[in-house]
Amino acid sequence: MLHAFVTLFVVLDPIGLAPVFMALVRAGNPAYQRRMADHAVLLASGVLVVFALAGNWLMDWLGVGLAAFRAAGGVLLFLLAVDMLFARSSGLRSTTEQEQAEAGSKGDISVFPLAIPLIAGPGAMTSMLLLMGEARPLPLKMLGLLGVLAAVLLLVWLSLRTAPRITGLLGITGANVVSRVLGIVLAALAAQFILDGLRVGLGGLIRPEGG
Query: Residue 209 domain-assigned?
Result: no
- 78-118 pLDDT per residue, tens: 888 888 888 766 555 555 555 555 555 556 889 988 898 88
As for how many domains the chain has, the answer is 1
Distance between CA atoms of 26 and 33, rounded to whole angstroms? 8
Distance between CA atoms of 116 and 47, rounded to whole angstroms? 9
Distance between CA atoms of 190 and 184, rounded to whole angstroms? 10
Query: Residue 161 domain-assigned?
Result: yes
Query: Residue 103 domain-assigned?
Result: yes
Query: Domain containing 62: what range?
Result: 2-204
Query: Residue 116 domain-assigned?
Result: yes
Distance between CA atoms of 32 and 51, rounded to whole angstroms? 28
- 35-83 pLDDT per residue, tens: 999 999 999 999 999 989 988 788 788 888 878 878 888 888 888 888 8
